[in-house]
């Protein structure tokens, strides 16, 4: 006979090695369940926690009682509780940190979910999920083969991971739509992740036009609090069955999960930068495994991790090698900046790009100019002594923003006025060096005064709904030239765009990042894929000072396989992902000696564990040695498998402080900073 539960293990949203035990008071007997939030005492105050399991007995004496039950019913399902444990174990976080990361902000703070309300204007009911509002498009032979293979798995209801490798414009989204239609007909739920919030309106429009507003919910950080909670509640109550959103939409409380789609799975935005530092691709595969669901990883430029697993047979590879209606891939021209006349510095627009823009505007077509650097000038420098204006809190140069006439640090947001004289030599000759998106916009306005120009970067996209407003204007052809950072590079489908200009292809190649070549190849291939998606052919002009770099050469030929083989050889030689598992341990302190001393202490702790075998590199100064007023050292740990890596990290995985310094552990790091 089962004994009644008298104690609850409660996970708190803080760095704790384990959940804490609390007594269930008699007033709450029989009402407490795993997945409910509770108010519990901690250090003389009350804090919010989530029940993760119930027990009949406890060896601990003097256990304090739960003070209050916040939820009448569990708001975290059993599979999400299991997933939170996996995330905590894999990414060196506490169970509570992983669990609360799954909830919208207001729910983390104790707010109750609102009652579920059907979507405004929704007409489609669950009783007829298989009736699309807009008929499906006719499929190509390759799309048909991919859809048929997906249907077999969805009908069987088994867990399987698919890598849908399709060139830009090959119709990957239509494959997603057919798979989701199949699942809706079976009574299942789907989650669709996109890498950029800017892509959400376009994706949402396609999905709601196919399935109706009643079936589709959207989750991302740019929603108002009330909207986010309302959508979350609709999903939790089974009123929406297709969830679209950015990274955190992975944790949507769907009831009958059958499919997770990661569009542009190679994107670094799927990696969480704060604790818990999970990767949405890996977490999605684990959630799908727990639910017995399928996963589709879609990309024209798959990550080396995903493609190598497909080559090994761990994922099922589906390929789309041709564009819809056999449209040709755009012609890519490389402009070697080293060969241009250098009088007065390199031009923002090379002669070939400027001429191509003239023709595009004359033909009443549209163009996109891509540069992955915002601001006007990337740094200012004294012509006399060479001094560069730097952030007082970070080891970086300040970027000039012309609109505000300020120098800005893009890491800590420190701002200061533009100096009239050099602070070092008192000289009055200051040069504005480097090019950002603001300068490109200004140069276009000067050269093409009649052109309608819009800019998309972090500076212009801060107002709510700004992504959707600009993209809608561009789609309606109210904008001739769209200038932007990587926001404009991925996933967009504009049939009248015939010209893509890459202002500087080399920005990522100079970073101390082993994924620099992969990021460059991906960006160039993706942004090139925005051209020629309609009836007119596309043209891409790439300005570069590294025209012979393998990433740029392979991207110009749309040659993913050639790039993959060459890059994988380098990774194997250096024992880097995907052939090994990697962790980055960063130690930071406001006093330089404290950081270095703590790094040495950490190294000794890691060296004390001899098995399993691993490679230790460091300690060494981080690429950004000083950031937000703190000095930083790092140690890199590499092992053959993830399990071996986590075993070597076991002695330090719960540490957050070493001496007078703080420690962060990033498993599978995607940023060198």
Is residue 420 in a domain? no
Question: What's the CA dihedral at 519, 525, 529, 530 to 10 degrees?
Answer: 40
Is residue 402 in a domain? no
Average of per-residue pLDDT across 324-330: 84
pLDDT at site 342: 66
- CA 181 vs CA 38, 147, 157, 241, 463: distances in Å: 39, 11, 15, 11, 34
pLDDT at site 25: 94
**pTM (global) more than 0.75:** yes
Residues 166 and 284 in one domain: yes
Residues 556 and 495 in one domain: yes
- CA 120 vs CA 45, 124, 220, 331: distances in Å: 41, 11, 18, 44
- The span from the CA of 538 to the CA of 533, in Å, is 7
Residues 177 and 219 in one domain: yes
Residues 336 and 476 in one domain: yes
Q: How does residue 128 score in pLDDT terms, banded at 50, 70 and 90?
A: very low
- For residue 10, how many C-alpha atoms fall within 13 Å in the half-sphere facing its CB? 29
Residues 227 and 308 in one domain: yes
Average of per-residue pLDDT across 558-585: 95
Residues 526 and 658 in one domain: no
More confident residue, 149 or 426: 149
Average of per-residue pLDDT across 246-273: 95
More confident residue, 504 or 41: 41
Q: Quick check: bond before 276 cis, omega within 30?
A: yes
Number of domains, the chain: 4
Residues 591 and 564 in one domain: no
User: Which SS3 state, helix, strand or coil, does residue 407 take?
Assistant: strand
**Of the residues 570, 599, 630, the one at which a domain ends:** 570
* Domain of residue 312, residue span: 141-325
More confident residue, 36 or 1: 36
Q: Which residues pair with 497 in a beta bridge?
A: 366
Residues 304 and 352 in one domain: no
Q: How many C-beta neighbours within 10 Å does residue 343 have?
A: 7
pLDDT at site 248: 92
Residues 172 and 299 in one domain: yes
Q: What phi and psi, each to the nearest 5 degrees, are found at residue 555?
A: -65, -40
Any idea which residue has 């809706």 for tokens?
184
Q: How does residue 199 score in pLDDT terms, banded at 50, 70 and 90?
A: low
């Amino acid at each position: 006979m089962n004994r009644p539960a008298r104690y609850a293990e409660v996970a708190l949203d803080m760095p704790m090695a384990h959940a804490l035990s609390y007594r269930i008071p008699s007033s709450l007997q029989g009402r407490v369940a795993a997945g409910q939030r509770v108010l519990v005492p901690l250090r003389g105050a009350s804090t919010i926690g989530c029940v993760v399991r119930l027990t009949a007995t406890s060896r601990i004496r003097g256990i304090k009682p739960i003070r209050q039950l916040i939820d009448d019913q569990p708001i975290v399902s059993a599979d999400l509780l299991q997933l939170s444990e996996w995330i905590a174990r894999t990414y060196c976080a506490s169970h509570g940190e992983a669990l609360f990361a799954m909830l919208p902000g207001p729910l983390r703070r104790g707010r109750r979910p609102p009652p579920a309300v059907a979507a405004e204007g929704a007409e489609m009911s669950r009783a007829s999920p298989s009736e699309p509002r807009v008929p499906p498009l006719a499929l190509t032979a390759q799309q048909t083969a991919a859809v048929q293979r997906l249907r077999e798995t969805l009908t069987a209801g088994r867990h399987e991971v698919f890598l849908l490798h399709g060139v830009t414009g090959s119709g990957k989204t239509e494959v997603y739509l057919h798979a989701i239609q199949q699942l809706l007909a079976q009574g299942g739920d789907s989650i669709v992740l996109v890498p950029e919030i800017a892509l959400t309106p376009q994706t949402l429009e396609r999905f709601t036009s196919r399935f109706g507003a009643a079936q589709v919910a959207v989750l991302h950080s740019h929603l108002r609090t009330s909207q986010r909670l309302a959508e979350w509640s609709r999903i939790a109550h089974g009123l929406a069955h297709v969830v679209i959103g950015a990274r955190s939409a992975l944790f949507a409380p769907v009831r009958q999960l059958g499919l997770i789609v990661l569009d542009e799975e190679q994107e670094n935005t799927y990696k969480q930068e704060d604790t818990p530092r999970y990767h949405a691709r890996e977490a999605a595969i684990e959630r799908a495994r727990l639910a017995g669901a399928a996963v589709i990883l879609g990309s024209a430029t798959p990550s080396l991790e995903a493609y190598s697993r497909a080559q090994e047979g761990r994922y099922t590879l589906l390929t789309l090698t041709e564009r819809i209606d056999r449209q040709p891939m755009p012609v890519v021209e490389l402009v070697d900046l080293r060969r241009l006349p250098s009088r007065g510095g390199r031009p923002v627009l090379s002669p070939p790009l400027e001429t191509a823009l003239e023709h595009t505007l004359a033909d009443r077509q549209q163009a996109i100019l891509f540069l992955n650097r915002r601001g006007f000038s990337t740094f200012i420098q004294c012509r006399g002594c060479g001094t560069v204006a730097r952030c007082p809190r970070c080891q970086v140069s300040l970027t000039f923003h012309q609109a505000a006439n300020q120098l800005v640090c893009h890491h800590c947001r420190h701002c200061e006025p533009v100096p009239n004289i050099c602070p070092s030599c008192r000289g009055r000759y200051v040069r504005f060096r480097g090019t950002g998106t603001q300068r490109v916009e200004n140069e276009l306005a000067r050269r093409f005064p009649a052109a309608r120009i819009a800019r998309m970067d972090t500076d212009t996209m801060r107002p709510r709904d700004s992504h959707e407003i600009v993209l809608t204007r561009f789609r309606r052809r109210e904008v001739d030239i769209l200038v932007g950072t990587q926001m404009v590079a991925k996933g967009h489908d504009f049939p009248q765009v015939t010209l893509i200009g890459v202002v500087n292809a080399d920005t990522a190649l100079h970073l101390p990042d082993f994924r620099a070549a992969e990021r460059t190849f991906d960006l160039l291939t993706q942004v090139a894929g925005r051209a020629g998606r309609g009836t007119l052919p596309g043209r891409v002009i790439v300005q570069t000072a590294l025209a012979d770099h393998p990433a740029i050469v392979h991207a110009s030929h749309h040659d993913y396989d050639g790039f993959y083989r060459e890059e994988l050889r380098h990774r194997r030689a250096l024992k880097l992902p995907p052939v090994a598992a990697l962790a980055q341990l960063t130690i930071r302190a406001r006093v330089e000696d404290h950081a270095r001393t703590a790094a040495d202490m950490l190294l000794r702790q890691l060296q004390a564990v001899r098995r399993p075998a691993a490679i230790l590199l460091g300690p060494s100064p981080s690429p950004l040695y000083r950031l937000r007023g703190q000095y930083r050292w790092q140690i890199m740990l590499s092992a053959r498998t993830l399990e071996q890596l986590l075993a070597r990290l076991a002695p330090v995985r719960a540490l957050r402080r070493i001496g007078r310094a703080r420690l962060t552990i990033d498993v599978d790091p995607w940023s060198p900073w």
